[in-house]
A and B are shown apart, each in its own frame.
Chain A
């Protein structure tokens, strides 16, 4: 156990900090939120990721040939910590960087890696995840979107739903049924689909936040070249699961949680309730302290998992624990913020007197969405108890 950083690492931290200071984008440029698909915002966000990548701070652990730096995780941890401190915006290409990217590194062909990985990092190509369907959510393996192999092309027909980012994504990693006669887990394949392919229709769905953050995606005889198959034909479930574990870790990322908690604390120290800062109220202090403890526990838990992964220890059901705990924690943090703000807490984004540009009520809703997305809390508990503890089905 050693949590200190070497002199080199401390120097690196200083470089990162000063880089962020000069390059951090302006907070409010008048663009609409990303979920609305506002091209101005999409451009801004892509610019931010590209700059960050050019500085060498994105997916630092990836192999050099694909645009990474083969850096150790400590450096990435330092970068993430500094980004939290600076309250930097997130990355638009998250699903590429944290979900399909690692999946391709593990299961992709050399050609697929060369074709896709660099553009994921530069944000030239944004990815979306085509898993859920109207009839297949928690029971993902029951999915019906059909892909028939004709010559060296798949012909895809069917529908995906709740597809985040599809409104501006360039590519989709997608699960399709390639063998309808096989048992449900054994007839699925994992395809990379160009969102500009003829036959794809994207129809936005408005979320409870009021933003069209996810979509329906329809496939009408969409042609996908065979070379876009990841892993073996009909063995896509294996590949899908590796992406799912990456997704759970992404949703369970503690950086975002820490950032939210810091925001909550600032709010509690500055908002007045009955003539004194909310943080002076004994009951609220208890709640804040409890949240702080849960946040810090997850921070050290992430360090521990990082170390385990460096040492090559299998993660077990760790990703499910992260997803379960972090998404619920995020929602609890947002709920505390709303309570602190009292009547101001539920003011909509465009209202007069709105606090913190109206981000908290949005967070309050959005964080509940992530309790559901990526496998609901109930599904994570099934995984932890059945796979982790070996409890009977």
Chain B
């Protein structure tokens, strides 16, 4: 029994923090979010060069073969620095989906590229209904002699506009879960139309993706009927945990910024941090964040090592961090007063990311109900 990070993990944390402080300062984040595609290829390549993109990819595909906990720690640091770009969609969603699929040829073709950062992948799951369950997948997939044909529209596909391929959930049969397949679709396949959406969180770039008679070969199948939904369920758990980690890092940063500001901003002839109303808010942030950190570590650990607890733990972490991050940034804005409400001040970057993280892959209400079901209340 040992509930602590290893020396290597602490090293990973420290070096990630140093790197991101240097390479991904708020001024840089703003610059990237002002650009059309919101994608800093240079940063992405540097992160890939350090092995981050292939963190959980097996060595035979050019990765470091580390655990989800390592990936969570890394994402915690990215949450601290509200890092923009397709890391989450590519190194987490697409990578995990391919890893869990049983398509050896696709893995061989794409995992090394994802790991080296030379290709970007994404996951196309949600549709207009915004449902996270199997029924939400309605994109029509018809099987023919040559392969598959897709018709329909996907929504909120992260980074589709810069991705080289998408893993697309489509429906072959009516059976809610078993009728779903996962297909790997290169972005330049004819019949695909990508329209970027605009989110208040400019560090995230969701897209609307229309599929009109998109023809795919047999070999595009990443996970077939009966299996695809199982893969997706695992990936959604991992996504929930990784977003919880991102939220943890962001909440910690918002707390630190608040404390720092409260020590220098003076009103009534004294630092506002000497007012108990302000102090107690900060103390509550700490007592929200510290137990939540333990929960995130546990969820990431359980994902790899306690399969029977993994889904419960993921829901617990996501529900808790959805609440904690939003509450923390809300209060952090208040502690900053008027300046905290301006575009010029950085705090809104975290405030908005908190809101995006809160909803993506299931909000707190969704995950509490799921926990209730998994725990057989």
Contact = CB atoms under 8 A, between A and B. Distances in A.
B147 interface: no
A19 interface: no
A389 B263 CA distance: 10
Interface bracket on B: 35 or more
Contacts of B291: 294, 297-298, 300-301, 321, 325
B289 to A, nearest CB: 9
Given A297-B294, A385-B279, A391-B282, A2 B1 contact: yes
Interface string B267-286: 00011011010111011101
Contact of B287 (A4, A77, A303, A384): A384
A289 B323 CA distance: 13
Contacts of A5: 1
Contacts of B293: 301, 304
A285 interface: yes
A3 interface: yes
Given A307-B4, A388-B286, A297 B271 contact: no
Interface in A315-334: 317-318, 321, 324-325
B7 to A, nearest CB: 11
B221 interface: no
B377 interface: yes
A124 interface: no
B266 to A, nearest CB: 10
- Say what secondary structure dominates the interface of chain B: helix
Q: In this complex, which of A292, A311, A382 has the most chain B Cβ atoms within 10 angstroms of its Cβ? A: A292
Contacts of B3: 1, 3, 300, 303-304, 306-307
A3 B1 contact: yes
A380 B284 CA distance: 10
A339 interface: no
Given A5-B1, A300-B295, A307-B4, A293 B282 contact: no
B47 interface: no
A391 B273 contact: yes
Interface stretch (B99-107, B158-166, B339-347, B365-373): B365-373
A310 B243 CA distance: 30
Contacts of A232: none
A111 interface: no
A296 B316 contact: yes
B59 interface: no
Interface string A261-287: 000010011000000000100100110
B297 A286 contact: no
Contacts of A311: 4
Q: In this complex, which of B69, B273, B368, B377 has the most chain A Cβ atoms within 10 angstroms of its Cβ? A: B377
A290 B319 contact: yes
Contact of A392 (B270, B283, B297, B298): B270
Nearest to A265: B377
A97 interface: no
B133 interface: no
B287 A385 contact: no
B6 interface: yes
Contact of A292 (B1, B6, B280, B371): B371
Nearest to B373: A285
Nearest to A381: B283
A390 B258 CA distance: 12
B65 interface: no
Contacts of B5: 1
A196 interface: no
A335 interface: no
A378 interface: yes
Interface string B1-21: 111111001000000000000
Contacts of B319: 289-290, 293
Contacts of A290: 319, 368
A74 interface: yes
Nearest to B256: A389
A308 interface: yes
B27 interface: no
A381 to B, nearest CB: 4
A288 interface: yes
Interface of B: 1-6, 9, 69, 259, 262-263, 270-271, 273-274, 276, 278-280, 282-284, 286-287, 290-295, 297-298, 301, 305-306, 316, 319-320, 365, 368-369, 371-372, 375, 377
23 contacts: A1-B6, A1-B9, A1-B297, A5-B1, A77-B1, A289-B369, A289-B375, A292-B371, A296-B298, A301-B294, A301-B295, A304-B3, A318-B290, A321-B287, A381-B283, A382-B276, A385-B279, A388-B286, A389-B259, A389-B283, A391-B274, A391-B282, A392-B273
Closest 10 CB pairs of A and B: A289-B368, A381-B283, A385-B279, A303-B3, A384-B283, A301-B294, A297-B291, A300-B294, A297-B295, A301-B291
Given A3-B1, A285-B369, A304-B3, 16 more contacts: A1-B297, A2-B1, A4-B305, A282-B369, A285-B377, A289-B377, A290-B368, A297-B295, A298-B291, A300-B3, A385-B286, A389-B259, A389-B279, A390-B263, A391-B279, A391-B282
